[in-house]
C-alpha cells in the first residue's frame, strides 16, 4: 500500500515553499512582510508563511494568508494586541482577494521548550517556510508521523474547543462567527486525520 504524505523513508513530506507562491499572491506576501518587518523588526527572530499560499493551492477570495511571527522574547499583552490590530487592517485591505490575513504569534522560548518538540518545532519544520530572519528549524531532523507528533499537533484540542465555545457566547458579527466555526471545524478534522494517519501507517 502506498503511504501518502511520507517519503520512501517514512518522513513527513514538506509541501510548502516560496517557489509555490503564485504570481498573483507574491505582491501581497511582499507587502504584508514589509509591513510586519517595518513595525516589529527589533522584536523578531523569524517570520514563516504556511497554509494554502505556501503550498500553491490558494483560491482567490476563499483562502487566508497565514503568517507566523516568532519573537525573540515572549510578546507583551500590548504587543500581542498591536499585532491583532495589524491583522485586522491587513485583512480589510485585501478583503477582495483573501478571506483574511492571519498573524499567529509565538516566541523562540516557546518553540524551543521541551513540550513543543513534537508540536511547534515539527509544525514549523514541515508545514511552514521561513520568509524572514533565522530559520530556527534549519538544523532540526525531519519527523515521521508518529503518535507523539499527532499528540504534539493536537494535544490542546479540548482546551481550544472550549475557548472557541466561550468566544461564540460573546457578541460576534456573522463574519466572525463564520470564521471561528471554520477554524473549529478544521481543527477537529485535522486532529482526526492526524491520529488516523498514524494508525494507518502503524507508527
pTM metric for this prediction: 0.78
User: Considering only CA atoms, which of 27, 26, 9 is closest in space to residue 17?
Assistant: 26
The pLDDT score that the predictor gives to residue 201 is 45
**Is 3.40.47.10 the CATH number for 14-141?**
no
Ranges of the chain with pLDDT below 50: 1-2, 193, 195, 197-198, 200-201
pLDDT tens track for 23-33: 999 999 999 99
> To the nearest whole number, what is the mean pLDDT of the chain?
85
The pLDDT score that the predictor gives to residue 1 is 37
Bridge partner residues of 44 (DSSP)? 71
Domain ranges of the chain: 14-141, 145-203
Amino acid at each position: 500500500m502506498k503511504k501518502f504524505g511520507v517519503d520512501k523513508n517514512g518522513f513527513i513530506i514538506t509541501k510548502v515553499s516560496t517557489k509555490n507562491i503564485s504570481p498573483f499572491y507574491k505582491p501581497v506576501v511582499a507587502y504584508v512582510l514589509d509591513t510586519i518587518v517595518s513595525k516589529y523588526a527589533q522584536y523578531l527572530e523569524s517570520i514563516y508563511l504556511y497554509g494554502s499560499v505556501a503550498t500553491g493551492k490558494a483560491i482567490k477570495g476563499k483562502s487566508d494568508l497565514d503568517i507566523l511571527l516568532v519573537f525573540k522574547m515572549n510578546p507583551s499583552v500590548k504587543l500581542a494586541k498591536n499585532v491583532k490590530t495589524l491583522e485586522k487592517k491587513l485583512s480589510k485591505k485585501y478583503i477582495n482577494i483573501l478571506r483574511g490575513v492571519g498573524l499567529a504569534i509565538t516566541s523562540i522560548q516557546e518553540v524551543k521548550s521541551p513540550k513543543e518538540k513534537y508540536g511547534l518545532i515539527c509544525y514549523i519544520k514541515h508545514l511552514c517556510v521561513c520568509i524572514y530572519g533565522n530559520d530556527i528549524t534549519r538544523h532540526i531532523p525531519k519527523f515521521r508521523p508518529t503518535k507523539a507528533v499527532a499528540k504534539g499537533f493536537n494535544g490542546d484540542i479540548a482546551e481550544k474547543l472550549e475557548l472557541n465555545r466561550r468566544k461564540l457566547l460573546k457578541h460576534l458579527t456573522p463574519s466572525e462567527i463564520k470564521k471561528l466555526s471554520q477554524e473549529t471545524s478544521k481543527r477537529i478534522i485535522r486532529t482526526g486525520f492526524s491520529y488516523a494517519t498514524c494508525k494507518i501507517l502503524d507508527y
